[in-house]
Amino acid sequence: MSSLLVTILLVLLVVAVIAAIARSIRIVPQATAGIVERFGRYHRTLNAGLNMVTPFVDRLRPLIDLREQVVSFPPQPVITEDNLVVGIDTVIYFQVTDARAATYEVANYIAAVEQLTVTTLRNVVGGMDLETALTSRDQINGELRKELDEATGKWGIRVGRVELKAIEPPGSIQDSMEKQMRADRDKRAAILSAEGSKQSAILTAEGARQAAVLKARGESEATMLRAEADARAQAVRARGQAEAIGTVFRAIHEGNPDQRLLAYQYMQMLPQIAQGDANKVWIVPSEIGKALEGLGGFFSSAASRPAEPPASAGPVATAPPNGSAGTSVLSGPGSQLDTSVSGDSSLEGWLTGGSGAVHDAAVGNHEGGPVPGAGDAGGAPLRHDPALMQGPTEMGAPI
């Protein structure tokens, strides 16, 4: 009996020792802390690792997480300065820095942080209108973090970051904002379109102006070049005409033409004077009488002399055979002329000394009357007349 009692006591003692050892050893995980109370009072804080406590005397409270924690709070109604109720979602990033303060300074630090966030948010957003609140998230976040950090410092909590997840205005306000935004965007689009049209018109006008300036400058340079080319061409033509006139003048003086040759050349120019469909009436110069007198005397003397061989000197006029009206040929040294002259019986008779009337049809084949100032050619010899050398002095073609 006594041995059984001793055995039971020994077993109880071993169990008590094992229980005491088990209660005295505490293992704290990393990034956590434990609060030890002795007889209901704070005794010490257990850090991570193996810790020993007095069994049945010390009591270990629930471990506190020392890592940074993220808490998202539900939307909170907040009234803005312009009396609009908006719902704001917040996210708090905080970390427990003092386990003792977080345990004994506040009963529930998470609920305390939530309520403090709501009150601070209403205080900050209440001084802003809706437009400012929507566009000032960074400012609201900074003010919230500052206020929360100051208030939670004595709780052993450090607020690292505060973020606003969403700011939700009422549905009617959202519709109005969308309409306003759409109108503003339409306005900006119209302004940009007008500015683009303006710039396009300005660039088009600038391009047209530059093109007109370049075109005018090119036309001016082209006109100047053409004028210079025309001036040079006129100068070259004038020099050529001067040289041609000089050559003709020298050739005439070197050939030494006589009065009969000049009179014959004068008669040759009469048909050319009468050419043209518009020439209905033409005036024969007064010198034609003297020229015809000279040619009449020449042909009369040629008819009275016997024919000479072709090698004889001086011009010879031969009448057409059988006495028919035709052409008279003047040939001889000098200019070596052999030109046909149109005529009729009156002209031939007048050239040979007759007194018949001479009409302009014998020269230009036009209607007219007798040649003024011709008179009776007779057989007068060709006289030296300066007018034959200078040509006609008056010529006109009235219409």
pLDDT reported for residue 285: 60
pLDDT reported for residue 255: 74
Length of the chain: 399
- Domain co-membership, 285 together with 263: yes
- Domain co-membership, 264 together with 359: yes
> Does residue 124 lie in a domain region?
yes
- Domain co-membership, 143 together with 198: no
Instruction: Please give the share of the chain, as a percent, with pLDDT higher than 70.
Output: 68
CB atoms within 10 A of CB 133: 25
Write out the DSSP string of 90-150: EEEEEEE--HHHHHHT-S-HHHHHHHHHHHHHHHHHTTS-HHHHHH-HHHHHHHHHHHHHH
- Domain co-membership, 108 together with 132: yes
pLDDT reported for residue 229: 93
Q: Which residues pair with 85 in a beta bridge?
A: 79
Mean pLDDT calculated for residue range 302-314: 47
Domain boundary residue among 118, 141, 169? 169
pLDDT reading at 353 higher than 50: no
pLDDT reported for residue 227: 93
Give the tens place of pLDDT for each residue, 201-229. Answer: 999 999 999 999 999 999 999 999 999 99
Give the tens place of pLDDT for each residue, 89-136. Answer: 889 999 999 999 999 988 888 888 888 888 888 888 888 888 888 888
pLDDT reading at 315 higher than 80: no
- Domain co-membership, 140 together with 157: yes
> Where does the pLDDT of residue 349 fall: very low under 50, low under 70, confident under 90, or very high at 90 and above?
very low
Give the tens place of pLDDT for each residue, 133-173. Answer: 888 888 888 888 888 888 888 899 998 888 888 888 888 88
Domain boundary residue among 255, 284, 309? 255
Give the tens place of pLDDT for each residue, 62-71. Answer: 999 999 999 9
- Domain co-membership, 79 together with 149: yes
**In terms of DSSP bridges, do strands 32-38 and 58-60 run parallel, antiparallel, or are they unpaired?**
antiparallel
> Where does the pLDDT of residue 335 fall: very low under 50, low under 70, confident under 90, or very high at 90 and above?
very low
pTM exceeds cut of 0.95: no
Q: Which residues pair with 168 in a beta bridge?
A: 87
> Does residue 2 lie in a domain region?
no
- Domain co-membership, 162 together with 206: no
> Does residue 4 lie in a domain region?
no
- Domain co-membership, 151 together with 163: yes
Backbone angle region of 279, left / alpha / beta, with phi > 0 → left and psi within -120 to 50 → alpha: beta
- Domain co-membership, 358 together with 285: yes
- Domain co-membership, 194 together with 244: yes
Rounded-to-5 percentages of helix, strand, coil across the chain: 50, 20, 30
**Which of 79, 74, 76, 84 is closest to 174 using CA atoms?**
84
> Where does the pLDDT of residue 310 fall: very low under 50, low under 70, confident under 90, or very high at 90 and above?
very low
Q: Let me know if 358 is exposed, middle or buried by CB neighbors in 10 A (0-12, 13-18, 19+).
A: buried
Contact 320, 328 (CB under 8 A): yes
More confident residue, 236 or 344: 236
Distances (CA, A) of 195 to 185, 190, 205, 209: 15, 8, 15, 21
pLDDT reported for residue 54: 85
- Domain co-membership, 290 together with 370: yes
Q: What's 157's domain CATH number?
A: 3.30.479.30
Instruction: Please give the share of the chain, as a percent, with pLDDT higher than 90.
Output: 21
What is the total count of domains within the chain? Answer: 4
> Does residue 238 lie in a domain region?
yes
Mean per-residue pLDDT over the chain, rounded:
74
- Helices first, then strands: H and E counts in the chain: 11, 11
Q: Let me know if 272 is exposed, middle or buried by CB neighbors in 10 A (0-12, 13-18, 19+).
A: exposed
- Domain co-membership, 126 together with 242: no
Give the torsion through C-alpha atoms of 17, 19, 25, 27, to 10 deg: 160
pLDDT reading at 347 higher than 60: no
Residue 208's domain comprises 184-255
